[in-house]
Amino acid sequence: MSGLFPLIAKDAVVRRRGKVLVGPVDLTLQAEGVTAVIGPNGAGKTTLLRMLHGIARLSAGSVRWNCPPDAAQQRQAFVFQTPVMMRRSVRDNIAYPLQLIGIPKKQARARAEEWAERVGLQYAMARSALMLSGGERQKLALARALIRAPEVLFLDEPCAALDGRATREIEEILLGAAAAGTRLIMSTHNMGQARRLASEVAFVLNGRIHEFSAAGDFFDGPRRPQADAFLRGDIVE
């Protein structure tokens, strides 16, 4: 079990220009499982992930891991909805996180080759990352995040705008990471994906967590009427 957990948010609030984007949030996450953060567009899902990860500054409350903040930051990674591609080859994009921590270039590139094969990008290693398709970019972003073996991986809508085949391939990578022990905390608008991957669900509305429960319980019968309406496809405000 990871020494990072539990992750505890208490009365956590993020404001911007005087407006509350998220919070107050009280949430405890344990070391195992896949957490799906769901809710309507604009509900605060992305800001919640950024807050838990530590890249959205708290305006009030606290978010604490079971270790010092600097140590926690080094043991986690974040994949954004639109990954940033450096003007380098696929090989060098994947290897870059290892070089940042002092691993020699040759060794980092060898590890990048291994990860490219795991995510199905071995054919594109010499290609510019800027020339990749959306699905290929997401695979690269996952390889770049997982190459350092993070204990926690945050993902913001990892399959947004991808077709069915690319989504299936990304999900297979995520399931493999989870099976290898990486804790996944992800937002998704795809309820089929949440059902397939999640062990627990946080339903977010207006910056608050309205419901947090085991995935099976949530999808079988959400407790809150707003969550029930959301699952039915109704507009929820």
What pLDDT does residue 30 have?
95
Whether 67 and 111 share a structural domain: no
What pLDDT does residue 163 have? Answer: 86
pLDDT number for residue 15: 96
Looking at residue 205, its pLDDT comes to 97
d(CA 189, CA 65): 27
Q: Do 156 and 225 reside in the same domain of the chain?
A: yes
**Residue 221 reports pLDDT greater than 80:** yes
Whether 53 and 116 map to the same domain: the answer is: no
Residue 52: exposure state from Cβ atoms within 10 A (0-12, 13-18, ≥19):
buried
> Can you give the pLDDT at residue 171?
93
- pLDDT tens digit sequence for 78-89: 999 888 899 999
Q: Answer yes or no: do 81 and 160 share one domain.
A: yes
118 and 48 both lie in a single domain: no
The answer to whether residues 32 and 63 belong to one domain is yes
Helix residue ranges per DSSP H, the chain: 45-53, 69-74, 90-100, 105-119, 134-146, 164-179, 191-197, 215-220, 225-231
Q: Which domain holds residue 176?
A: 7-85+151-231
Q: Is the CB of residue 129 less than 8 Å from the CB of residue 89?
A: yes
Q: What's the whole-number mean pLDDT along residues 205-234?
A: 95
pLDDT of residue 1: 42
Q: What is the CATH number of the domain that holds 212?
A: 3.40.50.300
Strand partners, 8: 28, 64
Q: Tally the domains of the chain.
A: 2
Whether 107 and 220 share a structural domain: no
pLDDT at 85: 93
DSSP assignment of 30-87 equals -SSSEEEEE-STTSSHHHHHHHHHT-S--SEEEEE-SS-HHHHHHTEEEE-SSPPPPS
Give the pLDDT confidence of 102-151 residue by residue, as tens digits.
999 999 999 999 999 999 999 999 999 999 999 999 999 999 999 999 99
Q: What is the pLDDT of residues 35-79, one digit of tens each?
A: 999 999 999 999 999 999 999 999 999 999 999 988 999 999 999
pLDDT digits (tens, 9 = 90+) for 172-196: 999 999 999 999 999 999 999 999 9
Predicted local distance difference test score (pLDDT) of residue 237: 83
How far is residue 58 CA from its own chain's centroid?
Answer: 19
- Any domain includes 142: no
Mean pLDDT of the chain: 94
* pLDDT of res. 3: 85
CA distance 34 to 210: 18
Q: Would 237 be classed as within a structural domain?
A: no
Nearest to 185 by CA among 167, 170, 169, 197: 197
Q: Which of the four pLDDT bands, split at 50, 70 and 90, describes residue 166?
A: confident
Q: Residue 197 falls within a domain, yes or no? A: yes
**What pLDDT sits at residue 161?**
79
Residues 124 and 94 in one domain: yes
Largest CA distance in the chain: 56
pLDDT at 130: 95
- Judge if 22 and 123 occupy the same domain: no
